[in-house]
């Protein structure tokens, strides 16, 4: 914001200001004198068209990245100019260095509990004047933890995969039978699979508590995974 002083004998005043938003630079000015008044409003920025639609940005530069992170609304690429991921899952990162490794790290701060960034870092080496596409893999759904045992009391093998009812891999079993999955609904069932034979799979029902994402191992429910006929 700026408000210059004018010659008091001319009885005039002027003011101007500017604002950088996530989508454009906005500026406004006004001046008033004894015989005239002037006002102006302006905006500057860029609108980038890509396969996912159009994304507005206040800055662009000659070399830039079109970043996609589905569902990661509000996440930002750390230590870079650029707006947060928008509702369509995109943002623009301006001023990349051409012919040089540019490290892009997606900061998950601000994400809601139903989105997980699978891989948050990548490196791109763009040509001069290039618009490079960068996609971060995300998972959406409800975070679910459970201590799982088989009917005989043993834990499923380390690394056993967890599949939802559509056959989509949603998690895995860790040490001591600790299962972590990101499931599509707040209740339902999954298959735990560790081999091709019928005896190497079982079924679990689940219901997500409101505080499930904050659970730690001591507060994680125990469940018995029982033989089932659902195939992955």
CATH number, domain containing residue 100? 2.60.40.2610
Q: Which domain holds residue 152?
A: 142-224
CA 192 vs. chain centroid, Å, equals 28
Is residue 14 included in any domain, yes or no? no
Is the same domain home to 50 and 126? yes
Pair 132, 152 in one domain: no
**pLDDT at 217 > cutoff 50:** no
**How confident is the model at residue 7, as a pLDDT?**
53
Question: Does the pTM exceed 0.85?
Answer: no
- Based on the fold, state whether residues 91 and 114 are members of the same structural domain: yes
Supply φ then ψ for residue 170, to 5 degrees.
-125, -5
From 119, 139, 159, give the residue that closes a domain. Answer: 139
- The rounded radius of gyration (Å) of the Cα atoms in the chain is 27
Both tokens assigned to 110? 């601000």
Under 8 Å CB-to-CB from 166, ≥6 apart: which residues? none
Residue 82 inside a domain? The answer is: yes
Neighbours of 147 (CB within 10 A): 15
Claim to verify: residue 129 and residue 106 sit in the same structural domain: yes
How large a percentage of the chain has pLDDT more than 90?
A: 53
Determine the pLDDT at residue 218: 46
Last residue of a domain, one of 139, 167, 186: 139
20 inside domain: no
Count of structural domains, the chain: 2
DSSP states along 119-183: --EEEE-PPTT-EEEEE--EEESEEEEEEEE-TTSPPPPTT-EEE-TTS-EEEEE-GGGEEEEEE
> Once rounded to an integer, what is the mean pLDDT over residues 39-58?
90
| pLDDT over 50 (residue 232) | no
**Model confidence band, residue 208 (pLDDT cutoffs 50, 70, 90):** confident
11 inside domain: no
pLDDT digits (tens, 9 = 90+) for 99-141: 999 999 999 887 888 888 988 999 999 999 999 999 999 988 9
Whole-angstrom Cα distance, residue 205 to residue 169?
16
CA distance 155 to 201: 12
My answer on whether 104 and 80 are in the same domain is yes
Please provide residue 199's backbone torsions phi and psi, each rounded to the nearest 5 degrees.
-80, 5
Closest CA to 108 of 81, 80, 69: 69
13 in a structural domain: no
Residue 63 lies in a domain: yes
Domain shared by 120 and 163, yes or no: no
Domain termination residue (choose one: 139, 170, 187): 139
Dist. CA 112–CA 128, nearest whole Å: 36
Q: Residue 166 maps to which CATH number?
A: 2.60.40.2070
Q: What are residue 145's DSSP bridge partners? A: 180
């Amino acid at each position: 914001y700026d408000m210059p002083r004018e010659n008091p004998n001319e009885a005039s005043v002027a003011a101007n200001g500017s604002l950088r938003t996530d989508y454009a630079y906005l500026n406004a000015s006004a001046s008033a004198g004894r015989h005239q008044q002037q006002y102006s409003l302006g905006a500057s920025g860029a609108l980038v068209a890509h396969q996912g639609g159009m994304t507005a940005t206040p800055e662009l530069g000659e070399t830039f990245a079109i970043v996609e992170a589905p569902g990661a609304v509000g996440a930002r690429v750390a230590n870079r100019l650029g707006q947060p991921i928008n509702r369509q899952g995109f943002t623009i990162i301006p001023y990349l260095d051409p012919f040089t490794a540019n490290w892009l790290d997606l900061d998950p701060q601000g994400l809601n509990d139903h989105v997980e960034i699978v891989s948050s870092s990548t490196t791109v080496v763009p040509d001069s004047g290039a618009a490079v596409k960068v996609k971060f893999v995300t998972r959406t759904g409800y975070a679910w933890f459970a201590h799982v045992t088989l009917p005989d009391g043993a834990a499923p093998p380390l690394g056993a995969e967890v599949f939802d009812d559509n056959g989509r891999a949603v998690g895995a079993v860790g040490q001591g039978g600790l299962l972590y999955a990101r499931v599509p609904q707040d209740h339902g069932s999954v298959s735990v699979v560790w081999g091709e034979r019928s005896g190497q799979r079982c079924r679990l029902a689940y219901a997500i508590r409101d505080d499930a994402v904050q659970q730690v191992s001591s507060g994680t429910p125990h469940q018995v995974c029982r033989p089932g006929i659902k195939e992955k």
